[in-house]
Each structure stands twice: as C-alpha cells, then as structure tokens.
Structure 1
C-alpha cells in the first residue's frame, strides 16, 4: 500500500513539475516576443562638432536628400521614423550630437529610395530639417534641432520611436566641462606634453566619476577636434547648466621653476551668493588637495577668455605648468590625472551639497 502511494505521489509530483515547466516556458516565450518587438536602441553621446558615427559610415557620400515630414497632432514629444522590413535593433546606430544640436541615425542596409516615399512623423516642433544621405551599405538620417535635447529610442512595430526631453527636464544638476584646445589648437606644450590631451583626459575621467553622483556632466568636446570659442560659450546655455569649468594647463617659459595649480574667474560679472570667485576658489582648493600639490592663486580672466560672457558660475582650473619638468612628468601620468579629476569631482559635489 505504501509503495502504491509513493508511486502515485511521484506521478503527481511529475505532473506539477511538468505544469510549472510549461508555464515557465510560456512566460519566457512571451517575454522574448515582447523584447523582440520592443527593442531599445542605445544612443551614443557625441559632444563634438565633427564627430563621426563610425568613420567608415561617412567615407562614401552620394548626395543629400531632404526628408519628407508630417506632423502628427496626437504625438507628444515623440518622433516616428519608419524602417524597412527586416530591420533589427542591431542594424541601427543612434548618436546625439550635442554641439551641433543634431540627432544622427545610421540604418544598415537602408535605402534612400525608401525615405523618398515614407515620411518622418510625430511631434516635430523642435525639428528644423531632416537630411538623408547614402552611406556605404546604408543610409544616414540627420535631424537638425532647434535646441539641445536628450533622447530615448525604441524599435517597435517596424519603426524607430524617439522620445525627447530637454536636459533640464531630465537632470536636476548639470555641469559643463570645457577641455581647452582640440584639433589644430594644441594649447600650451612642452617636451611632448600637450594641453589639449591632458585637459580632455581629465575631463573624461571627471565625467565618469560623476556618473554615480546624480550629476549630468556635458563635455564641449569628447575627441580631438576643433570647437569655436563661441560654441563653448553657448553650450552652457543650451543645456541649462548650473556650473561651467574650463580645464587647461599653465606655461611660464621664463621661469621653469614655477609649478602648481591655479584658478581664473570673471571678476566683472557678479552673481549673488555663489558666484565666479567662489567656484574658482572651491575647485582650485579641492584639486590642490586631491593632487597633493600647491595652489598658485586665483586670477581674474581677461576679456578674450571664454569665461567673459557666461552668465552662470564659471571658472578655469589650470592643472599645472608644462614648463616645469617635474610637474610635466606628473601631468602625463594617468594616475595623477585621475587625482586631478577626483579633485574636480569633489568640488562639484561640494557646491551642490552647500547650495541645496
């Protein structure tokens, strides 16, 4: 009798197990189908003026075509981009070109002919124009915007759906870091140490450090390219920044023994409570401590400096002297650059903590 009961119990257990596996399989299949139909497309950030999607995408150009567009009154801050049948998320590359206020969408195996007939639809209020151009084995769609925006894109039902918001709607705290130089502008140099390279490396590392601190950091450039002074000034306003920091180095060929960290600020533009001088003092102090270096001092910026026309707390941090042999060797070391970045990050954190 006990043996029969055991056999019966085993059969029931097998049935329960089978049912559970069937339910799990069904749920997994539904999840897979939903995921396949609602695939998020990652958007890369490009803050430079001449950044390429992927270099090979822009080696063969066959002319531009204006994209046909039609406003959808029911759409709310969303743009719908039709895709050819069979297009998958991995066939689409999306980039946000902040400095140009452009959204770039490369579609592998896409055809210009398809976009002659199909319209871009949605809430098109921020869109100035759209351009389509053939690029190697696909097409590049470039949407020129009236303002800097943040995007989230999803591939669903044969279309790419792009939702957009302003940076201020998405982030409570925004900082612009401006690594000086770039492209043909090397900045101050000495014995292989270039200001543009050190500034960009420290800016990038600072942005990485701030990712977990609920602060959005924008860079005026993310690669070695030219950026105009006017574009640097405007960018802080475009993204609604709270703070602006120019990052560079110092040089004194006549006195190579001089070393240390210094700050600059606009002493003509007064901002109540927390202003340019306070920001310059804070960042100079924190970077000096983090790098175990010495502070040279704080100095007023000249009228030619990018700081002159910025209406938010702005400053320049000079991370050291390229003309001092010992400091120059430190400036090209990654570990030392990380310390400098940590100092800038601590300064940003201090400002937001004390001004809440």
Structure 2
C-alpha cells in the first residue's frame, strides 16, 4: 500500500470514528425514558406527608416554549428514571432516584405550560428518591427525553395530534390478561402505529363515568369492551353492538361482526352471534364504532378465571387486533 493510499484509509477511518462518536453522543443526549402505562400496576408513590409544591420558573427560553423542563442531579441517568403516564387520572408521575436529598427544594422546574394544574414532589426516602407528581387539565400524550444538560424535557400533545389511529379498550377483571397481550401486540407492530388506551390493566375499581370519560378524553376512533358472560350460556363468543347510532363509514353492527369473526377464527371458539347491546351504558352513549365482546364461561368455578375454559387468550388478543386493523381499512 502506498503512502497516498494509507492516508486515504486513515482519513476514512477518522471520519467513521467522528461520525460514530457523534451518533453516540446524539443518541445519549436524546435518550428516551422508560415509560409505564397509565393503567398498569402502580408504583409506590410515597406518603403525602413528605410532599411539597415544586418551584416553577416561567422564564422559558424561546425554543423551549410549551415544554416541561425538569432539572436533574448530575449523577442521574436514564436508569434512575421511570415515567408513569396515568392518563385515567390526568396525571404524569416521574420517579427519580436522585441520591440528593432535598434537590427539588432548591431547583425549580422550568415551564410556561398552563395545562399543569398542580406540581408536587413526594420524597420516598431520605436519600433523594422522589416522585414528581403533575396534575394536568386533560388527557395528553407525551414525549420525554433525557438531555445532555442533565434535564428531562417533556412535550405534551392531545392524542389526535400525535396519533392517527386511537382505540379505547374497556376490560373487566377476567380480561386483564387479554388487555396486556393486546398492548404488547400493538407495541410490536410499528407499521400500523395504533395507540390503545385502556380503562384498566390492573385489578382496580373503575367507575362507569371514568370509563366514558376515557373514551371521550383520548379522542378514540374505535371502542372495544371485553367482558365475561357468566350467565351459564354455551361456551362461545357473542358480540354486542350499539344499535342507537348509525355511522356512515363503519356502522356498529359491521364492527361487531369484525370483532366476533376475527376472534373466533383466531381462537377457535364458537361464534354465537352478533346482537344489539340494549341497555349497555358504555356502548349506548358512544358515538364512534363500538362493540362489546363477551366470552361465555359456562358454570362458575375455576373457569371464571379463564373464559371459555381452555381459550387461548393470546389468540383472542390477536383476533381483537386483527379486527381493529380491518376496521381502520374500511374507515380510511
């Protein structure tokens, strides 16, 4: 190899190294923070006795308007931060293992956002672990990044501003597993980018008013309710639809048929029919394509924890997801 050729190789290697380092720095500077979903298992927030109102600096740089900026101790990395999006309660919680007790008594958050109604720091121990608790005036999607300036930057969006396809899913205790499976299927499907909002993913009481509010607040395009039928009917799938509204692009009966058909095909469980929902309070007040899927569990007993006995709930979740894809194809 000649000196000229060696110089070319050295230059190319240097350029490659510079580009690689730049990419590493960029990815480090915009590292996303681990997010747990709103209706998931709640993290330990701590006692309100150890809470204090956060300091707020409204002198926001021009390029950071409408952004929530949270300072961090220098020692904090993304591994020390968990963001919990509690959209059912219109709350954002950020758990930080800061290792500096009282850090947020002296360091203000920076924001000009008027959607934040309250901002509180709850000390979880005496070594600096805290929960930053933000009450918002509505349900918002958010994006959070960890910057090289040792801050968290949070941007908020109304769901329809961020997502083209939104589905609200209402579940009872029997279908919590199916809801989690559905969430995992959606997270793996990057091509369709469908956002699911769940009324519950944990064994907790959710009122009817909260359920109806979620459908409205998340600006859902579709509503699916999943519940068990313990009436003792034959084991199988029945899908109910709202017969009080006629929708042009996709009517409720069509959507219910898609849900039942796809779930029956995926799970192998018998389809028992598509019928009007009657006095179903959630469906009857919905003005978007809505359906309630019920699986008969037969006689009460161990099967009450496993709808349809040996039904593969992974397959039911796949069927629901396939029905959602089919519905959006018709609507679009």
**Fold match, TM over 0.5?**
yes
Structure 2 unaligned spans of 5+: none
Q: 1:122 and 1:326 mapped to 2: Cα distance?
A: 52
* Normalised TM-score (structure 1): 0.80
Which of 155, 158, 161 in structure 2 is aligned with 1:166? 158
Equivalent residue, structure 1, for 2:137: 146
Question: Aligned pair in 2 of structure 1 residues 123, 12: CA closer, same or farther (>3 Å)?
Answer: same
Q: 1:40 and 1:104 mapped to 2: Cα distance?
A: 18
- How far residue 327 of structure 1 moved from its aligned partner, in angstroms, is 8.3
Equivalent residue, structure 1, for 2:66: 77
Equivalent residue, structure 2, for 1:93: 82
* Contact kept in structure 1, 2:250 and 2:330, CA below 8 Å: no
Structure 1 unaligned spans of 5+: 1-8, 182-195
Does 1:178 pair with 2:167? no
Q: For residues 20-39 of structure 1, what are the structure 2 equivalents within 5 Å?
A: 20-36=12-28, 38-39=29-30
Which of 285, 306, 317 in structure 1 is aligned with 2:261? 285
Does 1:349 pair with 2:328? no
* Normalised TM-score (structure 2): 0.85
Q: 1:72 and 1:303 mapped to 2: Cα distance?
A: 53
User: How many residues are treated as equivalent by the alignment?
Assistant: 323
Aligned partner of residue 99 in structure 1, secondary structure: helix
Does 1:318 pair with 2:294? yes
Considering only aligned residues, what root-mean-square deviation do their CA atoms show, in Å? 2.9
Does 1:214 pair with 2:204? no
> What CA deviation, in whole Å up to 9, does each residue of 1:228-268 have, x standing for no partner?
22111111111110111110121234x6xx22211122333
- How far residue 168 of structure 1 moved from its aligned partner, in angstroms, is 0.7
- 230-239 or 258-267: bigger deviation: 258-267
> What CA deviation, in whole Å up to 9, does each residue of 1:204-244 have, x standing for no partner?
22333334233222222222222222111111111110111
Does 1:106 pair with 2:95? yes
Question: Aligned pair in 2 of structure 1 residues 134, 297: CA closer, same or farther (>3 Å)?
Answer: same
- 70-79 or 144-153: bigger deviation: 70-79
- How far residue 340 of structure 1 moved from its aligned partner, in angstroms, is 1.7
Q: 1:281 and 1:304 mapped to 2: Cα distance?
A: 17
